[in-house]
Amino acid sequence: MRRAGLFGVPRVRPWSWQAFLLGFVVVAMSALLQGVCVALGAKLYFAAFLPSLFVLALVAGAPSAAFAALLTIPLVWWAFIPPFFEFAPLTSANADSVNLFCLLAVLLIGLADLCRETMSMISRGGLKSSGESAATNSQ
């Protein structure tokens, strides 16, 4: 019996409307979780969004995760960086937070894409040997 994805979680086609809808839902749920964290006193603006981007990239692919990351930046700027619920110029510390989020998002989405490709290769039966390998010495 073949599993549909990681631990039985079904995967979504990367460029489908379902993938982008899932990206929007993941950003909304992460925003709710981040709101709870901010209410409890946390000042890590992107903390709830990074793990969800990784899981989204595993389930729905890199395009929807990149869409979610691009949607996250103005949302966090507007809702979680003081002054709340308005776009104010970013301080240098806040701009550094946004830049660090962009870097981590690219790295996490890339890693998740590699994991997704590896899972699809394993589900197809892995790498097939085509005779002699380049690493073997015929002498």
Instruction: Supply the pTM of this predicted model.
Output: 0.83
Residue of higher predicted confidence among 123 and 46:
46
pLDDT at residue 2 in the model: 44
Q: How far is the C-alpha of 66 from the C-alpha of 56, rounded, in Å?
A: 10
What are the residue ranges spanned by the domains of the chain?
Answer: 8-123
Q: Residue 19: pLDDT band by 50, 70, 90 thresholds?
A: very high
Count of C-beta atoms within a 10 Å radius of residue 90: 13
* CA atoms of 75 and 87, how far apart (whole Å): 10
Burial class (CB in 10 A: 0-12, 13-18, 19+), 2: exposed
pLDDT of 54 higher than 60? yes
The Cα–Cα gap between 12 and 35 comes to 28
pLDDT at position 46 over 80: yes
131 pLDDT higher than 70: no
Range in 32-36, 114-118, 123-127 the model is least confident about: 123-127
Quote the pLDDT of residue 11: 79
Tell me: pLDDT of 35 over 70: yes
